[in-house]
Structure 1
Amino acid sequence: MFDSSLDAVVPMLCVALAALAVTGAEAFRAHDENMPVGGLGIVGLTGAAVSSVLLWNRNATSFGVIVADNFGLFVTVVLVIVGVLTIMFSSPVVRRDGLPKGEYYALVLFALVGMIMMATANDLLVVFIALEILSLAVYVLTGIRRDDPRATEAAFKYFLLGAFSSAFFLYGIAFTYGLSGSTRLDRIGVYLAAQSMSDNPLILVAIGLLLVGFAFKISAVPFHMWTPDAYQGAPAVVTGFMSTGVKAAAFAAFTRVFLSALEPFSADWAPIVWLLAAATMILGTVVGVAQTNLKRMLAYSSIAHGGYLLVGLVAANQVGKAAILFYLLAYAVTNLAAFGVIALLGARDDANDELRDYTGLWHTRPAVAALMTVCLLSLGGLPPTAGFIGKWYVFSAAVSAGYYGLAIIGVLTSVVSVFFYLRVVVMMYMADRGPALAVPARVSGVGMAALVASIVVIFYLGILPTLALDLAAASIATIF
């Protein structure tokens, strides 16, 4: 039955209206340079969070292609958190670097609209449209420093490879539609449940093409090539936004498509995803060890974390599915906070993103050094942080599903990754102050508030994870 209710799109409408309000406010900002344009975005995001809570357990749908089930709403709240933290970290950066305030915040919000749409999409064409909405906004954000050659290069590479992956994804949609006669995920699932690979081998071609499209967005090996350059060239806060929001939205759609519509053929695609997960964890960790630039190191760290999330997808049991959602929340807050530190310590003409720049940071900015340490320990999966709980449940899901080899690879790469995280900690605490870091006269109060809030969430999820895990379990129960 065709459902014309708009309830399911209320969260993304709140964000879209905020983006339009920011764009309109920019026209009047010439009369008031101190207009809190970013505040309008936070108001819209708050509306999205409230509407998501009100929609919980209602399984609202709009036109059959947007489904506000608990799974989509959980990811929406994660994206709202990412959006609020991004705006708070961006406030001093936009002012310091002279970025176009209205355009910057509007692009962040429009990207979030695409992310929320992607997380709640029940149709492959809607997933593609959402993917393009968020991608176009992020391409521009990557190169928003037009006078920085690295940013321009990063945006150009990201755009070219992104267009390439979109073609694969769209071709996969065409194959899927040709086989099933629909782009709706629920109808595709019903069709595939009555098919076998021997009767219709083109199904594997369609799955492969869709997998390439998703693998690019989550930076899975071997589709990760764009990640280090794009992350290093973009402003640090934009890099944090890309590495968390885009990954969360892509994984939400990836999980919904492969564990819902394509679940009847999981025995065929699971070995491929197993290989992707193993290669992604290994390459992200090994290459990350050799990095001397903090943003590039965190880029390879982000690649490895994508591999850990793929472990949950391969496991495909109830623990694994819930672990994906919990891990997305823990990773999003932690990684965005780490990039937030880089953004706050940067200067207009010097990103201060080399490892040597953080030598002796404890002596000049002890509070920032302590907060950065918590972020790095959480990324390394050490207790009592959110990262430890996330990795514990992901690896437990793999063991429960019988994927012992994948769990062992995950644990070993996680142990190795601790080396390059602790290397930064040692440089901050165990060495004298380095001459290279031009520490700002003061760190923004708004930025520090965002950092402290992030650390509180990291410790809360690490010490008292029950509520978040229960919500994650309730979320996956609505679609799987």
Structure 2
Amino acid sequence: MNYLHDLQAFLPGIIVAITGLTVLMLDAFKVKADTSHTLSIVGLVAALIAAILSLTEASSTAFSGMVAYGGVAAFGSAIVLVGALFSVIICKDYFEDNDLHTGDVYAMIMFATVGMLALATSNDLISFFLGLETMSICLYVMAGLMKTEKTGAEAALKYFLLGAFSTGFLLYGIALIYGATGHTNFADIAANAEPTLLFFGGSALLLVGIFFKLGAVPFHMWTPDVYQGTPTPLTGFMATAAKSATFVAFILVLTRMLPGSEAGDWTNVIQVIAILTMIIGNLIALVQDNVKRMLAYSSIAHAGYLLVGLAAGTAAGYSGVLYYLFAYTIMNVGAFGVIAYYERNHGLDFTSIESYAGLGFKVPAMGVMLSIFLFSLAGIPPFVGFVGKYYVFAAAVNAELVPLAIIGVLASAASVYYYLRVMVYLYFKESHKDLPMIAPGNLFKGTLAVLAGLTIYYGVEPVLPFSGLIELISSYYTI
């Protein structure tokens, strides 16, 4: 009855896949897109429940060892589904205003989520590659949904060309690793790895492909243009769910395939990439006048903070990364949701920071929630972003990577300037003209309120879930 265990192990992905196929069929028969939107939400909620229920299951593998099940894999799946669920909920009004409210768009989101779930639970280089490419192909399409906008075409073209280039590195790396070890399963690779040039070369090329998907420096060039040209709710989806899935997969690679040994210690490389990513991401964000591009470079900087936790190479470091991914998901989806609301009112080019002058008093609820999300992204207590940064930096200090932690703290302090700059325009600059604002829908406003509430709650009460994460990590990984 192994097939029943296999189906249970990947149940969240199966639910989302069936939902995507159903939505696609409904669109083929010209069923209203509202039905597709509702069905997508129901499918994601069901998948999220399945992922949460599997958190308590003993960690194991399925599909002949290709898929990880339970424990951290379930938590990673839950983070991906949270990002997908909130992104789908808030995108309806935006899609309707921009003629994107069709069933095939929601189907594409579902299929991208299936790829993310496969990536976050991968335990084999083959399932890793299949999940990554399923996710990436769907994201390439979503980046170009704004067909009438030059920025949309630019986003899709750049993402596709650079993504295909990075996939070549990744696939060649997989081939070299297989040639060096004769295996594709993570545990088997670790058992057979030797410090040979072939294995080092394959591992390096594999990491290049991963760093590209994370938007880490110097593989970040695609991020600002893609984020700017993609429909804003989907930008939040790409920045959170896709990044979470890739980071969880990266943890799997580091702990199961490249354990700390002469043949697989990449800590110094990750430290260098983390430093470059934090510094360059924040420095370029400081001079951005476009809010979406600012958040894009901010996303690059946050990838650097997450890499600090990975560089620590401890249970606390990996746990901090997972907690940070959850924190980043709720606050970043919320921030892009508010930006999408402002774009709905005054067009897609309404992302210049000067356009936000005086808007904090136009619709006070939107201004307050954007302020909460930006405070959290800046790492100011008592919001969840502060807690996430504390955990990854504390793990680095405990792992005797004090200089890395200091650089991270200083980079985070510099980020306060560009986050607070948006709020200065919201509340302390006068608008050049009277801008009428559409009242946000109840579902949209309620969803953002829930995200804001979670941002505050988990900033005040972070201890219990974090302790649980350490237990999951300790039982799941050999460190």
Per the normalisation by structure 2, the TM-score is 0.95
- 8 A Cα contact 2:224 2:293, kept in partner: yes
Q: Give 1:67 deviation, angstroms.
A: 1.3
Runs of 4+ in 1 over 6 A off after TM superposition: 1-4
Structure 2 CA distance for aligned equivalents of residues 112 and 306 of structure 1 = 20
Structure 2 partner of 1:243: 239
Structure 1 partner of 2:419: 421
Q: Secondary structure at the match of 1:346?
A: helix
- 8 A Cα contact 1:345 1:439, kept in partner: no
Contiguous gaps of at least 5 residues in structure 2: none
- 8 A Cα contact 1:280 1:307, kept in partner: yes
Q: Give 1:439 deviation, angstroms.
A: 4.6
- 8 A Cα contact 2:16 2:113, kept in partner: yes
Structure 2 partner of 1:49: 48
Q: Give 1:259 deviation, angstroms.
A: 2.1
- 8 A Cα contact 1:114 1:133, kept in partner: yes
Q: Give 1:100 deviation, angstroms.
A: 4.5
Structure 1 partner of 2:404: 406
- 8 A Cα contact 2:81 2:241, kept in partner: no
Q: Give 1:479 deviation, angstroms.
A: 2.6
* Larger displacement relative to structure 2 (458-467 or 21-30): 21-30
Structure 2 CA distance for aligned equivalents of residues 87 and 410 of structure 1 = 33
Structure 1 CA distance for aligned equivalents of residues 420 and 357 of structure 2 = 13
Aligned residue among 317, 333, 337 for 1:336: 333
Number of matched pairs: 472
Q: Give 1:476 deviation, angstroms.
A: 1.5
1:374-413 pair list within 5 angstroms: 374-413=372-411
Q: Does 1:103 align with 2:78?
A: no
Q: Does 1:61 align with 2:58?
A: no
Q: Give 1:51 deviation, angstroms.
A: 1.6
Structure 1 CA distance for aligned equivalents of residues 74 and 222 of structure 2 = 30
Structure 2 partner of 1:123: 124
- 8 A Cα contact 1:345 1:443, kept in partner: no
- 8 A Cα contact 2:119 2:245, kept in partner: yes
Structure 2 CA distance for aligned equivalents of residues 272 and 2 of structure 1 = 40
- 8 A Cα contact 1:111 1:135, kept in partner: yes
* Larger displacement relative to structure 2 (17-26 or 51-60): 51-60
Structure 1 partner of 2:283: 286
* Residue identity in the other structure for 2:455: I
After superposition, what is the alpha-carbon deviation per residue over 1:292-318, rounded to whole angstroms, capped at 9, x for unaligned?
000000000000000000000000112
After superposition, what is the alpha-carbon deviation per residue over 1:271-302, rounded to whole angstroms, capped at 9, x for unaligned?
11110000000000000000000000000000
Cα separation, partners in 2 of 1:438 and 1:29, compared to 1, 3 Å: farther
Structure 1 partner of 2:355: 357
Cα separation, partners in 2 of 1:29 and 1:412, compared to 1, 3 Å: same
Structure 2 CA distance for aligned equivalents of residues 464 and 439 of structure 1 = 39
Structure 1 partner of 2:225: 229
Structure 2 CA distance for aligned equivalents of residues 407 and 372 of structure 1 = 28
After superposition, what is the alpha-carbon deviation per residue over 1:408-463, rounded to whole angstroms, capped at 9, x for unaligned?
1100000000010011111111122343x855321122221111111111111100
Q: Give 1:34 deviation, angstroms.
A: 6.5
Structure 2 partner of 1:446: 443
Q: Secondary structure at the match of 2:266?
A: helix
Residue identity (%):
39
Q: Give 1:58 deviation, angstroms.
A: 3.0
Structure 1 CA distance for aligned equivalents of residues 432 and 103 of structure 2 = 36
Per the normalisation by structure 1, the TM-score is 0.95
Structure 1 CA distance for aligned equivalents of residues 260 and 365 of structure 2 = 51
- 8 A Cα contact 1:117 1:127, kept in partner: yes
* Residue identity in the other structure for 1:360: G
Q: Give 1:125 deviation, angstroms.
A: 1.2
Q: Does 1:182 align with 2:183?
A: yes
Q: Does 1:27 align with 2:28?
A: yes
Structure 2 CA distance for aligned equivalents of residues 28 and 264 of structure 1 = 54
Structure 2 CA distance for aligned equivalents of residues 388 and 171 of structure 1 = 39
Q: Does 1:211 align with 2:207?
A: yes
Q: Give 1:203 deviation, angstroms.
A: 1.9
Structure 2 partner of 1:271: 268
Structure 2 partner of 1:75: 76
After superposition, what is the alpha-carbon deviation per residue over 1:311-330, rounded to whole angstroms, capped at 9, x for unaligned?
00000112101001000000
* Residue identity in the other structure for 1:384: P
* Residue identity in the other structure for 1:420: Y
